[in-house]
Structure 1
Amino acid sequence: MENSAIFLLQSLAAIHLTMTLFMYLVAVVIILIYPLYLYLTKPLNRIKRHGDLGYFFGTPELAGKHRDQQIERLKRIRMKGDLPPVYPNGWYCIAESPQLAPKQILPVVVFGEQLSLIRSEDGSAHLIDSYCPHLGANFNVGGRVVDNNCVQCPFHGWVFSAESGSCTRIPYNDGTIPEQARVTVWPVVERNKHIYVWFDADGSAPEWEIPVIEDILNGQWTYKGRTEHEVACHVQEIPENGADIAHLGYLHLAGAPVGNDVIRIDLSDRFPSITHQWDGNWNPSTKDKHMSKMHLEQVMKFHGFEIPLSSSKLDAIQIGPGIVHMHLDFGNLGKGIVLHHVTPEEPLFQRARFVMYSNLPRWFAKFFMLSEANQFERDVYVWSNKRYVKNPLLVKNDGPIGKHRRWYSQFYSDSSPRLLPDGSLSNRAKSALEW
């Protein structure tokens, strides 16, 4: 009996020790795996500034100030080609809604102009010129949002309505407010959790609306991440990729694992181990002349065998010159949309944003966004160094590039600003509300 009790106690001790060791092991595994879980499920926020990629200056590569100097030199000597006007007419994204808090002033550069984006106390968004007409102070540096939707200059306290542009009060002035005391207001709209500005070189009011994505607004599709790139090229070069079907099977043939640096990718290898297989077409809309669509089906293969979960269908709806709604279908994994925006901040300086909303698993959405960014950055290497060819030498299977250019030309007018040989503009961009 005594031996049985001793055996039982020993067994319980062994079980307790085993359970303790097991719990420690579980804790260690959790500690090791949890950071990986957080990384895989945290929404992507990939930002590449001008000069981070897209340039090559020989081997060994330059770094630091020497690299910066060479980039500046390249800007001076780069052959630009016979460029179209630099600011097409249309809607452009200037911010994502979460970036602008109530009573905040957000500096915005677009069309070569420094502007101030304001969120009023009641939540509405407004865009005005940044410089006070009194003595030229910049609202972005020390300005305040007051009286719900007004901006107060930090220099002398003058207050301007961000809705009308008129000066509403001057703190130390007992007389009337001069009629000329006003700032220019720009037309804006907030849609699909983004803020857009309307530009028209002839001062025309908005001619079309940005479609509402109901699945974003009702929460069926949630935020899954974003990427942002600064690209040194003409605004038309980026959306033109949608009609350049031939380059998909060359520049983008090799799968994302080989990287984004076209200097190091072996483009002569027509049978890489991991490939992207693309099948697509581009056509203007027959209903809305400001819209077009690229349909694309793609799959990734490993030595010719399809990689599970890698196939997808894409309908990229171009809406004007600077907005693309990329509708994605991954079958049983889910659906979603990537809002792709190209915004001309300067004549040859674009800000490209990709923001995803979907019901896809978070880890898969992040994988897709990283792969998309990887492929996009290969194009950045090309765009950052190429010249615009007005009359390209095209062959049979190039894709409808000429057709795309004729469609895109509707966004230019005789008044559209052009880049002159000396680097200046033929005329500055003005708000449609300035006339």
Structure 2
Amino acid sequence: MSEYKYAFLEPGHYARGWHIVLFSSELAPGEVKALHYFDREFVAWRSESGAVSVLDAYCPHLGAHLASDGGRVNGERIACPFHGWSFDRAGHCVEIPYARKIPERARHALKGWPVMERNGFIALWYSEDASEPQDYIPAIEDWGPAGWGDWQFQRSRIRAQPCDVIENIVDIAHFPHVHGGNVRAFENRFGDVTVTQVSKVQRDPESGMITPPGLDFNLVEARNQGAGMEADAWGDATYHGPSIMYYYTESRSPEISFKSWWVNYHTPVNDQELDLCSAVIMSSLDDTALPEEFTRLYPSVAHAAFGQDVAIWQDKVYRADPILCDGDGPITKLRRWYERFYLPIG
């Protein structure tokens, strides 16, 4: 029996599922990027036709990194910058420019990882048991240039564990202390690979709140101004799998009516670090164009709201056996749900 109460606390183990590694806008045709996640090196590249691939980073020949010197994309192949060995999108060696025959052992020596490009982001399927990917990431209707536009995102790397982050989805009690609002309605719904929070939170000048460092606007002032507006607003946040959260919100008021999608994700770098990202798109709820000042400020406020949680996550420790009270959300239930992404299938 493991010495750890939960499988997700065991060092060197990472959640099975989809994990965002890039936004589509960060990888142009012919471009190559080095990635470091799950304590291993990857190379992400987009072929000239636009298809995205993620492979293990080191050439099976003499170990060169395929992203060295910017990488070498040739059509639908990537070539090692050291000796020119070429690999297809699945990682198969398909050409050695100076050899008459490709060694049999080289044909399947480079691991290719399942990749999904959807809604303007690129996700990698990580699994330690070679399980087949599940298609559980929903498409966002009308995403793209003709509808919502592209993501405005902010990414940071912090010292934290994935379990620190995902528990936020059930943590009702932190709103008046971290986010400066009073909870008017709150419900959690659990599915096989989803957990949802449906909430109404009213901004309250009397509540406490965290102000993340480095903001170029006054977050307290923005909260207090919003507290004085009569708005009918609601939000629905859902984790799809272990690391990708969609948040959809609508707000209607005499001043402005809008809808917005947020994508918040956390991707483990190693046992001690995560990449955290908050991304936002928005649109008017009617035919009235959103004010320019609002479209400029709203993403900053959204990123700051995520940053309020980050200020806690990066300094906390994880309690495997916490002292809970009757006002806490279903934290233990969430942990049991989250455990499934670390346990063997079946």
Residue 233 of structure 2 is matched in structure 1 by: 312
**Equivalent residue, structure 2, for 1:48:** none
Deviation (angstroms), 1:290: 0.2
Q: Is the CA contact 2:184–2:202 (under 8 Å) kept in the aligned structure 1? A: no
Structure-2 separation of matches of 1:327 and 1:199: 26
| 1:92-241 map, 5 Å | 92-142=19-69, 143-146=71-74, 148-161=75-88, 163-174=89-100, 176-181=101-106, 182-217=109-144, 219-223=146-150, 225-241=152-168
Any conservation in 2 of the 1:116–1:130 contact (CA below 8 Å)?
yes
Counting matched residue pairs gives 309
Distance 1:318 1:237, change over 3 A: same
Distance 1:100 1:159 in 2: 20
Give the number of the structure whose residues are more often helix, by fraction.
Answer: 1
> Closer, same or farther in 2 for the Cα pair 1:198/1:309, shift >3 Å?
farther
Q: Compare 305-314 and 179-188 and name the one that shifted more.
A: 305-314
Cα distance in 1, alignment partners of residues 232 and 204 from structure 2: 9
State the TM-score, normalizing by the size of structure 1.
0.66
Larger radius of gyration: 1
Alignment correspondent of 1:412: 342
In 1, the alpha carbon distance for the partners of 2:148 and 2:230 equals 19
Separation in structure 2 between the aligned mates of residue 189 and residue 224 of structure 1, nearest angstrom: 17
1:297 aligns with 2:197: no
Q: Is the 8 A contact 1:231 1:349 kept in 2?
A: yes
Deviations 1:46-66 (A, max 9, x none): xxxxxxxxxxxxxxxxxxxxx
Q: Is the 8 A contact 1:309 1:330 kept in 2?
A: no
Aligned-pair RMSD on alpha carbons?
Answer: 2.3
- Structure 2 counterpart of 1:308, one-letter code: M
C-alpha distance in 2, partners of 1:359/1:225? 13
User: Which of structure 1's runs of 4+ aligned residues deviate more than 4 A?
Assistant: 80-83, 302-305
| Higher strand fraction (1 or 2) | 2
Equivalent residues of 1:245, 1:280 under 8 A apart:
no
Using the TM superposition, give the Cα deviation of residue 395 of structure 1 relative to its aligned residue in structure 2, in angstroms. Answer: 0.3
C-alpha displacement of 1:280: 4.3
> In structure 2, what residue type is equivalent to 1:201?
E
Map 1:241-260; keep pairs closer than 5 Å: 241-253=168-180
1:284 pairs with 156, 165, 189, which one? 189
In 1: Cα distance, 2:232 partner to 2:321 partner: 36
Equivalent position SS for 1:214: coil
Q: What stretches of structure 1 of length at least 5 have no aligned partner?
A: 1-79, 254-275, 416-435
CA distance in 2, matches of 1:339, 1:311: 22
> Of the two structures, which has the highest relative contact order with CA contacts closer than 8 Å and spacing of 6 or more?
1
Which amino acid counterpart does residue 278 of structure 1 have in structure 2?
A: V
User: Structure 2: how far apart are the matches of 1:81 and 1:406?
Assistant: 11
Change (3 A) 1:116 1:364: same
Q: 1:383: how far off?
A: 1.6
The one-letter amino acid of 1:180's match is: R
